[in-house]
């Protein structure tokens, strides 16, 4: 790819502005994606945190679901944080009746695994492939990964209480997902990790 990659942020619900801001800090072009035509114009996509069931319903309402599934099958790089992890998972425990995912990651996730909003917490995590000090992770009604397929790389695990050793960051091919929200901490390294994935996929 001779030009810089264009990274979209799925903008039907969730913390879209924060992701757009961090991507800009990483030196890539970024824009919100709400329509199939906008999706067709991007090289990669971030699926933000928010409410996974609401995002699922809105992708169908905006006629984005099928184009999203197709682009992911074709190998488009994507990064899902929190609700975005659920959307990329092939299997969900405690899903709402009728809830669909986009799929692509051979993982089983549990919705709201860390508890409700009042149970939100922060923790420093070792993150494979990210140099420097531990990554500050913010967990807000976060999922965790209960099972991974053979081709899934575990990048980080939680280290606290009942959640000790629970998987909270994974990668499979061009897909990256975290249970936590790096877009709100001021640390851009997870996004830079994703941007490098996007650049490598384009070469």
From 18, 26, 82, 191, the catalytic residue: 82
26 is catalytic: no
From 18, 19, 26, 181, the catalytic residue: 181
Q: Please name which of 81, 147, 162, 76 lies closest in space to residue 110, comparing C-alpha atoms.
A: 147
Q: Please name which of 79, 69, 93, 74 lies closest in space to residue 23, comparing C-alpha atoms.
A: 79
82 is catalytic: yes
What is the rounded end-to-end Cα distance, in angstroms, of the chain? 6
The four Cα atoms 56, 54, 119, 125 give a dihedral, to 10 degrees, of 40
From 18, 19, 26, 183, the catalytic residue: 183
Phi and psi at residue 131, in whole multiples of 5°? -75, 165
Q: What is the DSSP letter of 15?
A: S
191 is catalytic: no
CA–CA gap between residue 198 and residue 201 (Å, rounded): 5
- Give the catalytic positions in this structure: 82, 181, 183
């Amino acid at each position: 790819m001779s030009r810089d990659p264009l990274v979209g942020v799925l903008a039907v619900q969730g913390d879209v502005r924060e992701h757009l801001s961090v991507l800009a800090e990483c030196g890539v072009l970024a824009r919100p994606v709400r329509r199939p035509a906008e999706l067709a114009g991007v090289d990669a996509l971030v699926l933000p945190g928010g409410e996974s069931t609401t995002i699922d319903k809105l992708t169908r309402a905006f006629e984005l679901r099928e184009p999203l599934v197709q682009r992911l099958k074709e190998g488009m790089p994507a990064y899902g944080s929190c609700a975005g992890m659920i959307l990329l998972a092939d299997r969900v425990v405690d899903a709402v009746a009728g809830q669909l995912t986009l799929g692509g990651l051979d993982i089983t996730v549990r919705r709201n695994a860390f508890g409700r909003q009042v149970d939100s917490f922060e923790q420093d995590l070792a993150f494979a492939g990210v140099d420097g000090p531990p990554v500050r992770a913010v967990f807000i009604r976060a999922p965790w990964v209960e099972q991974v397929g053979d081709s899934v790389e575990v990048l980080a695990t939680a280290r606290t209480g009942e959640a000790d050793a629970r998987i909270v960051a994974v990668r499979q091919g061009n897909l990256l997902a975290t249970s936590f929200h790096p877009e709100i901490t001021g640390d851009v390294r997870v996004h830079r990790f994703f941007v490098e994935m996007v650049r490598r996929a384009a070469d």
